[in-house]
A = this chain, B = another copy of it.
Protein backbone atom coordinates (compact mmCIF):
# COMPACT_ATOMS: atom_id res chain seq x y z
CA UNK A 1 0.00 0.00 0.00
CA UNK A 2 2.97 2.35 0.17
CA UNK A 3 3.45 4.55 -2.84
CA UNK A 4 7.13 4.99 -2.17
CA UNK A 5 9.25 2.31 -3.77
CA UNK A 6 12.64 3.24 -2.49
CA UNK A 7 12.26 2.04 1.07
CA UNK A 8 11.35 -1.51 1.98
CA UNK A 9 10.23 -0.43 5.47
CA UNK A 10 7.54 1.85 4.09
CA UNK A 11 8.36 5.17 5.75
CA UNK A 12 9.41 8.19 3.78
CA UNK A 13 13.18 8.51 3.45
CA UNK A 14 14.87 10.52 6.13
CA UNK A 15 15.76 14.02 4.98
CA UNK A 16 17.19 17.04 6.76
CA UNK A 17 13.80 18.73 6.46
CA UNK A 18 12.01 15.80 8.06
CA UNK A 19 14.54 15.70 10.88
CA UNK A 20 14.20 19.46 11.43
CA UNK A 21 10.42 19.46 11.43
CA UNK A 22 10.26 16.56 13.87
CA UNK A 23 12.91 18.15 16.11
CA UNK A 24 11.03 21.45 16.29
CA UNK A 25 7.64 19.98 17.04
CA UNK A 26 9.17 17.62 19.57
CA UNK A 27 11.01 20.49 21.28
CA UNK A 28 7.76 22.51 21.26
CA UNK A 29 6.20 19.85 23.47
CA UNK A 30 9.09 18.50 25.57
CA UNK A 31 11.48 21.46 25.66
CA UNK A 32 15.12 21.64 24.70
CA UNK A 33 16.36 19.49 27.57
CA UNK A 34 13.75 16.89 26.61
CA UNK A 35 15.01 16.81 23.03
CA UNK A 36 17.56 14.02 22.90
CA UNK A 37 19.05 12.57 19.76
CA UNK A 38 17.84 9.17 20.88
CA UNK A 39 14.34 10.41 21.64
CA UNK A 40 14.14 12.23 18.30
CA UNK A 41 15.27 9.08 16.52
CA UNK A 42 12.50 7.23 18.32
CA UNK A 43 9.87 9.72 17.09
CA UNK A 44 11.16 9.24 13.54
CA UNK A 45 11.38 5.46 14.01
CA UNK A 46 15.02 5.22 13.01
CA UNK A 47 18.15 4.25 14.88
CA UNK A 48 19.81 7.18 16.70
CA UNK A 49 22.77 7.11 14.33
CA UNK A 50 20.59 7.62 11.27
CA UNK A 51 20.19 11.26 12.30
CA UNK A 52 23.90 11.87 11.94
CA UNK A 53 23.73 11.56 8.19
CA UNK A 54 21.59 14.74 8.12
CA UNK A 55 22.99 16.81 10.97
CA UNK A 56 26.59 16.99 12.12
CA UNK A 57 25.67 16.80 15.81
CA UNK A 58 23.16 18.15 18.33
CA UNK A 59 24.56 21.71 18.14
CA UNK A 60 24.26 21.74 14.36
CA UNK A 61 20.68 20.51 14.66
CA UNK A 62 19.87 23.35 17.07
CA UNK A 63 21.53 25.90 14.76
CA UNK A 64 19.25 24.73 11.95
CA UNK A 65 16.16 24.71 14.17
CA UNK A 66 16.82 28.32 15.21
CA UNK A 67 17.02 29.39 11.59
CA UNK A 68 13.59 27.87 10.93
CA UNK A 69 12.29 29.90 13.89
CA UNK A 70 13.84 33.11 12.51
CA UNK A 71 12.06 32.38 9.25
CA UNK A 72 8.71 32.53 11.06
CA UNK A 73 9.23 36.11 12.27
CA UNK A 74 7.72 38.77 9.97
CA UNK A 75 10.17 41.05 8.22
CA UNK A 76 9.56 44.80 8.48
CA UNK A 77 7.18 45.80 5.70
CA UNK A 78 8.37 48.43 3.28
CA UNK A 79 5.44 50.78 3.60
CA UNK A 80 5.14 51.40 7.32
CA UNK A 81 7.11 53.93 9.35
CA UNK A 82 9.93 52.58 11.52
CA UNK A 83 7.97 52.64 14.76
CA UNK A 84 5.03 50.70 13.33
CA UNK A 85 7.38 48.24 11.67
CA UNK A 86 9.36 47.68 14.89
CA UNK A 87 6.14 47.27 16.86
CA UNK A 88 4.94 44.62 14.42
CA UNK A 89 8.27 42.87 14.62
CA UNK A 90 8.13 42.89 18.40
CA UNK A 91 4.63 41.40 18.46
CA UNK A 92 5.54 38.79 15.84
CA UNK A 93 8.66 37.84 17.77
CA UNK A 94 6.62 37.31 20.91
CA UNK A 95 4.16 35.08 19.03
CA UNK A 96 6.96 33.02 17.53
CA UNK A 97 8.81 32.66 20.84
CA UNK A 98 5.60 31.63 22.58
CA UNK A 99 5.17 28.85 20.02
CA UNK A 100 8.81 27.80 20.38
CA UNK A 101 9.78 28.60 23.97
CA UNK A 102 12.93 26.46 23.78
CA UNK A 103 14.30 28.97 21.24
CA UNK A 104 14.49 31.90 23.69
CA UNK A 105 18.07 32.33 24.76
CA UNK A 106 19.41 30.71 21.61
CA UNK A 107 18.23 33.29 19.08
CA UNK A 108 20.97 35.86 19.71
CA UNK A 109 23.84 33.54 20.37
CA UNK A 110 24.36 31.40 17.28
CA UNK A 111 27.95 31.37 16.10
CA UNK A 112 26.76 29.87 12.84
CA UNK A 113 23.70 31.94 11.92
CA UNK A 114 21.59 30.71 9.05
CA UNK A 115 20.22 32.69 6.15
CA UNK A 116 16.87 33.54 7.76
CA UNK A 117 18.75 34.90 10.78
CA UNK A 118 21.00 37.14 8.64
CA UNK A 119 18.11 38.22 6.41
CA UNK A 120 16.12 39.20 9.49
CA UNK A 121 18.91 41.33 10.96
CA UNK A 122 19.60 42.90 7.57
CA UNK A 123 15.96 43.86 7.18
CA UNK A 124 15.62 45.38 10.65
CA UNK A 125 18.82 47.39 10.31
CA UNK A 126 17.77 48.47 6.81
CA UNK A 127 14.41 49.71 8.06
CA UNK A 128 16.01 51.84 10.77
CA UNK A 129 18.74 53.16 8.47
CA UNK A 130 16.27 54.19 5.77
CA UNK A 131 14.20 55.98 8.43
CA UNK A 132 17.30 58.10 9.01
CA UNK A 133 18.92 56.44 12.07
CA UNK A 134 22.71 56.63 12.01
CA UNK A 135 24.61 53.43 12.82
CA UNK A 136 25.17 54.36 16.47
CA UNK A 137 21.46 54.96 16.95
CA UNK A 138 20.68 51.67 15.22
CA UNK A 139 22.92 49.91 17.74
CA UNK A 140 21.21 51.63 20.68
CA UNK A 141 17.74 50.89 19.36
CA UNK A 142 18.43 47.29 18.43
CA UNK A 143 20.06 46.50 21.75
CA UNK A 144 17.19 48.07 23.68
CA UNK A 145 14.48 46.37 21.66
CA UNK A 146 15.96 42.89 21.66
CA UNK A 147 16.99 43.00 25.31
CA UNK A 148 13.39 43.88 26.16
CA UNK A 149 11.83 41.38 23.76
CA UNK A 150 13.98 38.40 24.73
CA UNK A 151 13.96 39.32 28.42
CA UNK A 152 10.18 39.54 28.53
CA UNK A 153 9.73 36.32 26.57
CA UNK A 154 12.10 34.52 28.89
CA UNK A 155 10.31 35.74 32.00
CA UNK A 156 6.88 34.94 30.64
CA UNK A 157 7.77 31.47 29.49
CA UNK A 158 9.72 30.54 32.60
CA UNK A 159 6.90 31.66 34.87
CA UNK A 160 4.68 29.28 32.93
CA UNK A 161 1.62 31.07 34.26
CA UNK A 162 -1.22 31.36 31.80
CA UNK A 163 -4.46 31.74 33.71
CA UNK A 164 -5.27 33.77 36.84
CA UNK A 165 -5.80 30.39 38.57
CA UNK A 166 -2.21 29.39 37.67
CA UNK A 167 -1.07 32.69 39.15
CA UNK A 168 -2.94 32.10 42.40
CA UNK A 169 -1.56 28.58 42.66
CA UNK A 170 1.96 29.80 42.01
CA UNK A 171 1.73 32.60 44.52
CA UNK A 172 0.41 30.23 47.18
CA UNK A 173 3.17 27.73 46.44
CA UNK A 174 5.82 30.39 46.56
CA UNK A 175 4.83 32.12 49.76
CA UNK A 176 3.57 29.13 51.67
CA UNK A 177 6.87 28.45 53.49
CA UNK A 178 7.28 32.07 54.64
CA UNK A 179 5.53 34.43 57.02
CA UNK A 180 4.06 36.94 54.61
CA UNK A 181 4.27 39.83 57.04
CA UNK A 182 8.04 39.75 56.65
CA UNK A 183 7.49 40.96 53.09
CA UNK A 184 4.71 43.54 53.37
CA UNK A 185 5.36 45.32 50.08
CA UNK A 186 5.51 42.07 48.14
CA UNK A 187 2.38 40.80 49.89
CA UNK A 188 0.43 43.96 49.08
CA UNK A 189 1.63 43.92 45.48
CA UNK A 190 0.67 40.31 44.92
CA UNK A 191 -2.67 40.45 46.72
CA UNK A 192 -3.91 43.83 45.52
CA UNK A 193 -2.60 43.76 41.96
CA UNK A 194 -1.10 40.58 40.54
CA UNK A 195 -3.89 38.38 41.86
CA UNK A 196 -6.65 40.96 41.30
CA UNK A 197 -9.34 40.23 38.72
CA UNK A 198 -8.31 41.15 35.21
CA UNK A 199 -4.54 41.23 35.73
CA UNK A 200 -2.51 39.14 33.31
CA UNK A 201 1.23 39.38 33.12
CA UNK A 202 1.16 38.95 29.37
CA UNK A 203 -0.59 42.33 29.05
CA UNK A 204 2.58 44.04 30.24
CA UNK A 205 4.29 43.11 26.99
CA UNK A 206 2.58 45.59 24.69
CA UNK A 207 2.73 48.34 27.31
CA UNK A 208 6.47 47.90 27.77
CA UNK A 209 7.15 47.57 24.06
CA UNK A 210 5.44 50.91 23.43
CA UNK A 211 7.44 52.53 26.24
CA UNK A 212 10.68 51.23 24.70
CA UNK A 213 9.67 52.50 21.25
CA UNK A 214 8.77 55.92 22.70
CA UNK A 215 12.12 56.00 24.51
CA UNK A 216 13.97 55.29 21.27
CA UNK A 217 12.02 57.97 19.39
CA UNK A 218 12.80 60.53 22.10
CA UNK A 219 16.47 59.58 22.31
CA UNK A 220 16.77 59.92 18.56
CA UNK A 221 15.09 63.34 18.60
CA UNK A 222 17.36 64.48 21.44
CA UNK A 223 20.44 63.35 19.54
CA UNK A 224 19.54 65.93 16.88
CA UNK A 225 17.90 63.49 14.39
Which residues of A pack against B, CB within 8 Å?
Answer: 105-106, 108-109, 111-113, 115, 118-119, 121-123, 125-126, 129, 135-136, 138-140, 143-144, 146-152, 154-155, 158-160, 170, 173-175, 177-178, 182-186, 188-189, 192-194, 199, 201, 204, 207-208, 211-212, 214-216, 218-219
Contacts and interface: CB of A to CB of B under 8 A. Distances in A.
B193 A136 contact: yes
Given A129-B185, A139-B194, A149-B151, 15 more contacts: A108-B155, A113-B174, A115-B178, A122-B184, A125-B185, A129-B188, A129-B189, A135-B193, A136-B193, A138-B189, A147-B208, A151-B152, A211-B215, A212-B212, A214-B215
A143 B149 CA distance: 11
Contacts of A185: 122-123, 125-126, 129
Nearest to A155: B108
